[in-house]
Amino acid sequence: MHGEFRVAAEGVAIVPLKEDPQPGRFHRRGPSGSTMTNGRVVAVGLLLAAVIASGCVSGCGGGESAHRSAGNPPAFAWLRPAPPPSAWPLARLSGTVAMAYPPSWHRIESDPGTVSAALVVARTGLITEYLNATPKQADETLRNWPSFRTAHNQEEGDSQEQVLAAARGLRFRDGRGSCVIDRYRTTRTRYEEIACLVQAPAGETVIVAAALASRWGRDAPALERAVSGFVA
């Protein structure tokens, strides 16, 4: 993310900084502009191939099986496509793409053609919870999505990238998608995110849901609900 924080008169229009959660927007780079070596990309891809085969890296014990959505690996048992709560506002992209967010959050400014909403600490401007929807931008596919996403985070300067889970063929309200759950550190703090590429009849869209890693256990249910209610 780029730009200075800018607050409108009503106090809700905020331009996030690069050090905040990564949106779903990607920029094509030629070979000279890439900060990822081929070996590094291959290493990420091999690691994620094993992750996808098992459905998760950690936190996927059999105790969750009673709550699994049919066909989903345990790490994505929470993904149950359904309309969001009626009180949640909707942020819309062109066409039918709709991202619902909790009523205590606010829309924030983001790149043209994308939508974002967040919960922000007023005193410091720190984004503690974040949602972003972005149309497919570059070479991401359902097959390469987990490695594409984590490589993007590293290209943006994030460090300590840790993949927790990844899966393909997940069912959404109007399509199928690939998702990765990962943690990474910005220069400011550490985030955990759910990032999914969803393929629907109208097109492909990225949905990102992130929160402070230290608060993930508390904040994850709202983020998971938002992803479950997403329409691509």
Please report the domains of the chain, with CATH numbers, ordered by start residue.
35-228 (3.40.1000.10)
Name which residue leads in pLDDT, 82 or 63: 82
Name which residue leads in pLDDT, 50 or 99: 99
Give the count of beta carbons closer than 10 Å to the beta carbon of residue 133.
Answer: 27
Residue 131 has pLDDT above 80, yes or no: yes
Residue 225 has pLDDT above 70, yes or no: yes
Give the count of beta carbons closer than 10 Å to the beta carbon of residue 46.
Answer: 11
Which residues are paired to 119 by β-bridges?
A: 129
Per-residue pLDDT reduced to its tens digit, 83-92: 999 999 999 9
User: Which pLDDT band holds residue 177 (cuts at 50, 70, 90)?
Assistant: very high
The confidence score (pLDDT) of residue 49 equals 45
The confidence score (pLDDT) of residue 4 equals 29
User: Which pLDDT band holds residue 187 (cuts at 50, 70, 90)?
Assistant: confident
User: Which pLDDT band holds residue 19 (cuts at 50, 70, 90)?
Assistant: low
- C-alpha distances (whole Å) from 4 to each of 7, 19, 109, 123, 151 are 10, 11, 11, 15, 25
